[in-house]
Structure 1
Amino acid sequence: MKSFIPKTLNGSFKYINIRELGIEEFKECNFMNKKENRDNERVGIILPNQREERWKRDKAAMEKEGKIRDISLIFEYNDFEMEKQIEAINKLILDEVDVLIICPINGEGEPEAIEKAKKKGIKVISYDLLAMNSDIDLFVSFNLMRVGELQGKYLIGKVPRGNYIILLGEPNGEVFLEGAMEYIMPLVYTGNIKIITQEKVERWIPDYAYNIVKNSLIQYENNIDAVLAPNDAIAGAVIQAIDEENLAGKVAVTGQDADISAIRRIIEGTQSMTVLKDTNELAWVAINAAIKLIKGEQKITYKSINNGKINVPSILTNPILVDKNNVYSILNETGYYKNYIL
């Protein structure tokens, strides 16, 4: 299995409070001056979609920060399709954006499209996932390996023996799977855990996950104990499938993103856990970094990650595990509580 897991340089990452970081502390670079004859800065942003709650939250947080900082934001969506990704990049180049914030797909043609933007003097920030083999200026994300580790460790703690379904989000789900399998595979080797189904969920579409789980339930006569679901949208489809067999709450199901629906399911007891990634913080740092890139201010990051072409200045934040034991306290502490109907 090909892995897109980045390798760190000079040891482990130092995780920090983004608000305390100060964008002025990024690694020093030479950046272009603000484009002339422009009322305000223009930032192009490519997100996967507006179908999933996770990406709706990212967009809303970016719009809020963009309004505060008086910059123009132009949004495009790739729907995890490489053709749409390249079209979106080309459109934003024509829109003469100063900075491109991109959720990469890491498919054929993407590095060339990014290079085209760079040749036009556009700075590129890789958002959420690392753009591989591309000349990008900054990587802003969560510790994605840690997300998978939280999922895998939680799952084996809850179900140390039994039949597992492993779902891999495609594309770019390898890093989550790698983290989770560090905990799951040792119990597979001892025979305590049996992986009865392991499949990719193309374009992270929940309906595909539903079909995978439904077929597995039929094949194994409902003898399923745990499902590694990579995000909450997929977890919802998984739970729908097992609920139709009256197994909801009896099968452990992971998730990621802390969607409203997932929080409700955790409280109800049908979803075991999710992973909260504070998109308000991530959007804040991405927009402020874009402004600093435009102004050409000196910048420092604590570490770099090699993407197969260059060492990319990077900022990562830690995700937070949420289950029924801490759901209220975590949402209160992070400020997410007001966004949920509990």
Structure 2
Amino acid sequence: MLNRKHYQIIFWTSSIIILIFTGCFGSPQGKPEIKPKIKVGLVLAETTTERNQYLLAKIKESAKSQNIKIIEGDSKNNSEQQKKQIEKMITEKVEVVIMQPINSDAAKDFISMLEEQNIKIIVIDLLPENVSVDAFIAPDYVRAGELQAQYILSQGIELNPLILTGEPNSVSGIILPGNINQLKNSPFVKGMVVKEVPDQSDIKAYEISKSEYSKNSPNTIISHYEQYTSGIMKFLKETKLEKKVTFVTMDINKESLKDIKEGNLIAVDTMPNLLAQVILETTDSLLKTDSWKYDMQINNGTALVPAKYTPVRIINTDNLYLLNERFSELEELINSNQKTPEKQETNSEKENKQTKLKIKTNDGKEYEVTIPGEIEKIEMMPE
């Protein structure tokens, strides 16, 4: 017969066995749950410019720490290709698409495609009219155009600028009014030519610059795209005009750093490092809360669009060092070709200096006189 002590032993033994089996075969305790990465689509207009390459690299790098998988889409500056990239994002079932439209007309249809799938939309650089998106983020392109114009006006000379633009429904259509508003009423501007460069081509930019200079001899050139810079600079250097024609462009790449340093080029920097940061913060907020910290709401025809404009700045020889963070080779470039400091003369060297004078009189006689030290002034005092 079992007594009380036996029952206690059986009870505690059974409890221990249950705990052991529960620990071994039950749900694991304290093991963190691995969450699948959130898919975010990034559809850029192109990836050939250094600005967009920087944006892509920065966004991909930062996404790694935010449990985000970036699905890339390069539109190759072609609207049909951009449509294919949007379709790819839909197939990939992304939760957010960051889109950089090539032109505003085609982008309207792409935005509608994403809306139908309830995909959140962040548009950068160019906002089509009469569309509703979750966020619009762009450099202040109107201000960029104003800065370009103000820089050439600050020279205080008579101007006949050549402005090389893109299509009216592209970013160029925002920059140009900034140019015109500053230049149109200035007494310095005696003539102004605006030319559209097809396909954002550096070759076409070269050809147009060459053709227009033969007709109008512009003393300033304003460019709206990074892609134009190399073509225009090629023309200026071939004709030895790089020091005579003031050239102000948009955005900066490695190739243009040396020309800025040498005073051949001025550029408006759209600060892609800051733009990338704002895009990432906005993406993270929309994924977590469906809202974000915008600065204003734009009345976009049929919708109010939350928006933020990032600052832009002029970069020239004097403040080129501000780009050190983005261009690792810049510090070496800035420090290269520095003038060797002039050697300071010692007192003994000054004392040992001599000046030799050659004097010719009216009657044809010549005299040579050596005088210690340097001559400051000679006066003729006839008696």
Which of 148-157 and 128-137 deviates more? 128-137
Q: How many residues align?
A: 297
Aligned mate of 1:201, from 183, 197, 203:
197
In structure 1, the residue matched to 2:81 is 84
**1:339 Cα deviation from its structure 2 partner:** 5.9
Instruction: Please state if 1:304 is matched with 2:297.
Output: yes
**1:56 Cα deviation from its structure 2 partner:** 0.8
Larger radius of gyration: 2
Aligned mate of 1:338, from 316, 328, 332:
328
In structure 2, the residue matched to 1:180 is 179
RMSD in angstroms over aligned alpha carbons? 2.1
Aligned mate of 1:253, from 224, 228, 247:
247
Please tell me the residue identity of whatever aligns with 1:287.
Answer: L
For 1:54 and 1:192, the matched residues in 2 are separated by: 31
In structure 1, the residue matched to 2:127 is 130
Cα deviations by residue, 1:167-191 (Å, 9 ceiling, x for unpaired): 112333011111111111113xx47
In structure 2, the residue matched to 1:8 is none
Check the 8 A contact 2:141/2:171 in 1, yes or no: no
Aligned mate of 1:324, from 317, 320, 324:
317
Runs of 4+ in 1 over 4 A off after TM superposition: none
Instruction: Please state if 1:313 is matched with 2:309.
Output: no
Structure 2's unaligned 5+ residue stretches are 1-33, 334-383
Check the 8 A contact 1:232/1:274 in 2, yes or no: no
TM-score with structure 2 setting the length: 0.73
Please tell me the residue identity of whatever aligns with 2:94.
Answer: V
Cα deviations by residue, 1:23-67 (Å, 9 ceiling, x for unpaired): xxxxxxxxxxxxxx9711111111121211111111111111111
Check the 8 A contact 2:97/2:119 in 1, yes or no: yes
Check the 8 A contact 2:162/2:194 in 1, yes or no: yes
**1:236 Cα deviation from its structure 2 partner:** 2.2
User: Aligned ranges for residues 146-165 of structure 1 at < 5 Å?
Assistant: 146-158=143-155, 160-165=157-162
- The 3 A distance-change label for structure 1 pair 247 and 307 is same
Please tell me the residue identity of whatever aligns with 2:292.
Answer: K
For 1:145 and 1:192, the matched residues in 2 are separated by: 20
User: Aligned ranges for residues 44-55 of structure 1 at < 5 Å?
Assistant: 44-55=41-52
SS at match of 2:185: helix
Please tell me the residue identity of whatever aligns with 2:180.
Answer: M
SS at match of 1:125: strand
Structure 1's unaligned 5+ residue stretches are 1-36
In structure 1, the residue matched to 2:256 is 262
- The 3 A distance-change label for structure 1 pair 38 and 242 is same
Please tell me the residue identity of whatever aligns with 1:304.
Answer: Q
Asked which structure has the greater RCO (Cα within 8 Å, sep 6+), the reply is: 1
User: Aligned ranges for residues 3-152 of structure 1 at < 5 Å?
Assistant: 39-152=36-149
TM-score with structure 1 setting the length: 0.81
